[in-house]
Structure 1
Amino acid sequence: MRKLTYFIAATLDGFIADKDGNFDFFPVGEDVLAHLVAEYPETLPAHVAPHVGVAPDAEFRHFDTVVMGRATYDPALQVGITSPYSHLRTYVVTGSITESPDPGVTLVAGDPVAKVRELKAEPTGKGIWLAGGARLAGSLMGEIDELVIKTYPILIGTGIPMLSGEFEVTAFTRTGGTVLAGGTSVATYSRT
């Protein structure tokens, strides 16, 4: 069975964006980019990857599918990019977009849990990357098998939390991690 991994950037106080959804304040330095290129190149947008050293024939070790909410998809749409992760099968959970702007993007208007369970049950393939956002992660909390959290050494005080949903204690065990030169930590957790 394929696993769902919530791979996300967060502040020390647990926010993934400011209250307006902006995330350009994250200090993404050369150390972070080098780590992503080496370990998670598939999480770099297709239009960025070649400019930071990801070869066109790079092998993606972790994910072949990405699931995201409408708010996570919007920044790309606003600049005319209709398939920001064209190298991955892309699913956007939305009730407001009725027709996909790109043949490589599948819209999910119904239950995201049912869609993720369907994807996880596929007999072959790599992992499924849950790219965000908070509401979608909250609705999928019962399906998240792994967390990969890039924690930047900053506080913002308020914003969009890493996960938004009903109160539910869900235990995870730390399975790995590293601290990059600029102070950003990348930690991996598996559902206990």
Structure 2
Amino acid sequence: MRSLVYYVASTVDGFICGPKAELDFFSADGDHMAAIGEEYPETIPVHFRSALGIDPPNRTIDTVLEGRGSYQLGLDDGVANAYPHLRHLVFSRTLGPSPDPGVEVVATDPVQRVRELKREPGQRIWLCGGSELAGVLRDEIDELAIKIYPVAIGSGRPLFGAAGFAPHHLRVTSTRTFDDGVVFLHYARPPHDHQ
């Protein structure tokens, strides 16, 4: 069965962006950037690939999931499919027809759709964002990979929006600290903890 990994950037106080979707406090400089290319090359969006002149192969991920808010950030920048090298699903009941033939808009239950995806053959499924979708899919997340940046912002969109109080215990599978202050934390849900 395929696993769902929530791989995301976070502030030290647990926010994936500011209250108005601000992201400019996440640095794209520093020694942690090489690790992203090595460990998660699939997560490098097409416009960064073009700017950097790179096209790394997919290693362990072949599908990306986004919520409407996360997807809208790309649309606002004129990018209708930031991940053409992956199967790309956007969960939205308001988006309407897909703006790109490589993007599947899903207006049905995210939990049911993710369970279907997990049963299909393939590599890992990456939950790119955002906060609300992560909250809805929290019980389906098998791995949590967080890039914690050395910044606190006070308020914004939390790692898991609208999830409610329900403690989930995870086990640390790896940690890595970089000279630029970014820390990669990787957690896995114990197998017995799945519903």
Q: TM-score band (shorter)?
A: over 0.9
Query: What letter is aligned with 1:166?
Result: G
What are the superposed Cα offsets for residues 74-125 of structure 1, whole Å, 9 maximum, x if unpaired?
1111121110111100000001111001010000101000110010000x21
- Structure 2 Cα separation of the partners of residues 20 and 79 of structure 1: 15
- Structure 2 Cα separation of the partners of residues 136 and 24 of structure 1: 22
- Structure 2 Cα separation of the partners of residues 79 and 50 of structure 1: 15
- Structure 1 Cα separation of the partners of residues 59 and 77 of structure 2: 29
CA RMSD of aligned residues (A): 1.1
Query: What letter is aligned with 2:9?
Result: A
What pairs up with 1:35-184 in 2 under 5 angstroms?
35-52=35-52, 54=54, 56=55, 58-122=56-120, 124-164=121-161, 165-184=163-182
- Structure 1 Cα separation of the partners of residues 134 and 189 of structure 2: 14
- Structure 2 Cα separation of the partners of residues 115 and 13 of structure 1: 31
- For structure 2, the residue ranges without an aligned partner over 5 or more in a row are 191-195
SS in 1 for 2:186: strand
1:28 offset after TM fit, Å? 2.3
1:53 offset after TM fit, Å? 5.6
Q: TM-score, normalised to structure 1's length?
A: 0.95
More off after superposition, 25-34 vs 100-109: 25-34
Identical residues among aligned pairs (%): 43
More off after superposition, 45-54 vs 64-73: 45-54
- For structure 1, the residue ranges without an aligned partner over 5 or more in a row are none
Change in Cα spacing, 1:119 to 1:70, as seen in structure 2 (3 Å) is same
1:59 offset after TM fit, Å? 2.5
